[in-house]
A and B are shown apart, each in its own frame.
Chain A
Amino acid sequence: MRGTALYNGSSGTFLPVKEGNDAMATVRFDNATRLYPGNDKPSVDRLNIDVADGEFLVLVGPSGCGKSTSLRMLAGLEEVNAGKIWIGDRDVTNLSPKDRDVAMVFQNYALYPHMTVADNMGFALKIAGVDKGEIRKRVEEAAKILDLAPYLERKPKALSGGQRQRVAMGRAIVRSPQVFLMDEPLSNLDAKLRVQTRTQIASLQRRLGVTTVYVTHDQIEAMTMGDRVALLKDGVLMQCDTPRSMYDHPNNVFVAGFIGSPAMNLLDVEQVDGGVAVGGNKVPVERAILSGSSGKQVTLGVRPEDLDVVAEGDGIPVEIDVVEELGADAYIYGTAKAATHTEADEDSTEKPFIARVDGRRPPEKGSTIYLAPKAGHLHLFDSASGQRLGG
């Protein structure tokens, strides 16, 4: 087992840092593929991700997208049918879980009632045969980081819910693994504790600097916690980027629709000279961007907060169904009259549309307003391939 050294952090607290001779704990999925017997499509299809040493990477996506399977491949719980997985410079593809020096966090929340907090944190080391002095040292270090030092000799019964939660984290920390793996660790917590713990895990991970791969289906969790976010769909990596880039430059329609809450408005529109046509009006778009599209139709995307109210005859006409006033802002939920088709199929072109507008002058329910995307905040995608057009 590797130890941790102490160093005087800038805030005056002692933080464990990795010893100089430690291998870099990078993680690399190299065309990693998982095909279940009997399936004709892989559950994880040629996944390529490089996780930097100390990075917090979040795997996110809808249920069945392959995020958990990817994590379990890294943990050694799922076979890798093709490709490789690396931790540092070790090819771990065929290593058993216990030889990979990874720790699953929150596998078991149960705290033992008769044992002290210190024993609750260190018992796994005792089982692994680590000597008493070393166990004590590591438990004390972890307790310091987790603000549990004053409670080490108490029984878990005397702790609050949040403190118990931290004891559970301490169990993983004392093992000082190269990589932390977390599979939806917050999924069975109540809403309040979920938000608390989310913040704790993220700040703790930054203090410890241990490479972490975290799985969630919740894009808000992903966006608030990760240094980078990898979004998967049907076993295929859609985009792996910083939360900011995922938000500002989604690579394709799926990423655009998945990331952000409320979600990005997406409308299928037709190209016209110098822009795209929406509900009889033209939204100007640079020719260079549209030139990459494979057909006449493109998908226009704009986030609810990236819209300005403009005069009739300009922008996207939106009929308002609901106005939600939130003080400074108001959200309007309505229907966009997207395309300029014949009246006969007008119904089919009506799409739900959300916009954030000035809360002091909210429009009225039932009225129609005209919304134009703010400059530089319009996203366009090829309707056939779903891929982003332009930069």
Chain B
Amino acid sequence: MPLNFTAARPDPALLDLPWRLPLEDWPQERLAALPRGISRHVVRFVKLSGRVLAVKEIKGDLALGEYNMLRLLNRLDQPAVEPSAVVDGRLTKSGEPLDACLITRHLQFSLPYRALFSQSLRADTAARLIDALAVLLVRLHLAGFWWGDVSLSNTLFRRDAGAFAAYLVDAETGRLYQKLSDGQREHDLDIARVNIAGELMDLEAGELLPVGTDPVETANQIMTRYADLWKALTGLERFDTGDRWRVDERIRTLNELGFDIDELAITTDFDGTTIAIQPKVVDAGHHSRRLLRLTGLDVEENQARRLLNDLDAFRAAADRQNDDEEIVAHDWLSRIYEPITRSVPRQMAAKLEPAELFHEVLEHRWYLAERAQHDIPIEDAIADYVASVLPSKPDERSVLGVDTVELPVIAGPDVS
């Protein structure tokens, strides 16, 4: 039976991979790194045409289902890994059928949670990861996606100006509905809570969790973080007709949380003394969309917020409040942002994404200024940062996981 490739933009180099071998037996020289992470399936990372791809061995119908689901999530502008292809119809050299492979593109500068915990990090790392996961879950639920296997290991994290942005990696159990019921959302949250607690308990058993972090308590934070955000984004608010400023207030609050209101339902009661408002359609990415429009930079939400603040400061410092915003943004980009991010030596370029580096330099400048008790030009800050801080940072462009044991469920000799 011939191999069957399903791909949106097929890369001919895919044909050269050793599809007749079980994924487990792929030769070392093909692999970008040893795969890690808790997985039900065999997963390998390969380098192909200058990119890193994740290859997962899985039943054909499941592979195609997940491929289509990931494509759908991408089209819905949800943070999920990008599917690349499904390869089916695999046979070994002796003609034995092999499971299909789902291929996804590796998300650059993303970090598996285990990699984060193996670096000695701030004590609140777990909490920040859970914040990011709560935002991801709310976004997916707003889009009608029931995940079914919410966990830290099914998520990748990107640094986002001191916080994290979460991406869905595994959509195998997911289903897309027109709208989720409360029962479905609750169930997803319950799965999340149990999985996260289990994962943190495992880190604790492996002595990777910072001392004093309680796995169950930390995992429970997903419930409150999620509930708060869900309420802020979708809750019904009622007030007197005179308090119409509260409509603007609600929009501002949502903007601050990083969301835009696309559709707001406003109703009045019979005699018109009270107004009720409820956001009907909200979109994530308030700041990142604005930054993209102004500068063409495509970055995470908190990074965008940070960059926009710097842009505003630039505008005020240059006394250009009356100039066209786009023109000022263009000047900021060419005079500040690009020179700073380009001044990183090539050999250190794989350590941090440009936007995250810019955020770090701004932090560093603040720290230098506080120590010197006067303003520090950003040019000095970047020079000091590259000399004293950046060299000790790990390369994070292609972190594929560390220090975990993969436990695929495979046929064993014992039968009882």
Contact = CB atoms under 8 A, between A and B. Distances in A.
In this complex, which of B58, B146, B149, B411 has the most chain A Cβ atoms within 10 angstroms of its Cβ? B411
A193 B38 contact: no
A38 B178 contact: yes
B40 A109 contact: yes
A262 interface: no
Contact of B197 (A77, A127, A188): A127
Contacts of A96: 182-183, 186-187
A219 B173 CA distance: 23
A103 to B, nearest CB: 12
B39 A110 contact: yes
Interface stretch (A10-18, A154-162, A279-287, A305-313): A154-162
Interface residues of A, number: 45
B409 interface: yes
In which size bucket is the chain B interface?
Answer: 35 or more
Contact of A164 (B99, B148, B409, B415): B409
B414 A188 contact: no
A163 B39 CA distance: 16
Contact of B411 (A110, A126, A190): A190
B258 interface: no
B178 to A, nearest CB: 6
Given A162-B414, A188-B59, A193-B409, A77 B187 contact: yes
A160 B413 CA distance: 7
A164 B39 CA distance: 13
Contacts of B411: 161-162, 190, 192-193, 196
Contacts of B39: 110
A124 B59 CA distance: 29
B206 A114 contact: yes
A123 B197 contact: yes
Contacts of B202: 112-115
B191 A107 contact: yes
B190 A97 contact: yes
A342 interface: no
B360 interface: no
B412 interface: yes
B410 A190 contact: yes
B412 A127 contact: no
Nearest to B114: A113
Contacts of B146: 77
B412 A108 contact: no
Given A157-B407, A163-B412, A111 B149 contact: no
B184 interface: yes
**Chain B contact surface mostly:** loop
Nearest to A100: B183
Given A126-B216, A160-B412, A112 B183 contact: no
B182 A110 contact: no
Contacts of A196: 411, 415
A96 B182 CA distance: 8
B38 A147 contact: no
In this complex, which of A108, A124, A193 has the most chain B Cβ atoms within 10 angstroms of its Cβ? A108
A97 B409 contact: no
Interface string B146-188: 1011010100000000000000000001000011011110110
B194 interface: yes
Nearest to A203: B416
Nearest to B189: A98
Contact of A77 (B58, B183, B194, B414): B183
A23 B112 CA distance: 45
B178 A161 contact: no
Nearest to B146: A77
B407 A156 contact: yes
B201 A112 contact: yes
B191 A119 contact: no
Contacts of B40: 109-110, 188
Contacts of A187: 59, 62
A162 B415 contact: yes
B203 interface: yes
In this complex, which of A110, A114, A164 has the most chain B Cβ atoms within 10 angstroms of its Cβ? A110
B99 A190 contact: yes
Interface in A84-121: 96-98, 107-116, 119
Contacts of A76: 183, 187
Nearest to A168: B409
A115 B99 contact: no
B253 interface: no
Contacts of B219: 127
A107 B187 contact: no
A124 B194 contact: yes
B195 interface: yes
A189 B184 contact: no
B205 interface: yes
Contact of A161 (B187, B199, B206, B410): B410
Given A112-B199, A190-B411, A77 B206 contact: no
Contact of A112 (B178, B182, B205, B416): B205
A98 B183 CA distance: 9
A123 B201 contact: yes
A112 B198 contact: yes
A119 to B, nearest CB: 7
A189 to B, nearest CB: 7
A108 B178 contact: no
9 contacts: A79-B183, A112-B198, A126-B197, A127-B219, A160-B414, A161-B412, A162-B411, A162-B416, A193-B409
Given A97-B186, A124-B194, A193-B410, 6 more contacts: A108-B195, A112-B199, A124-B198, A164-B407, A187-B62, A188-B58
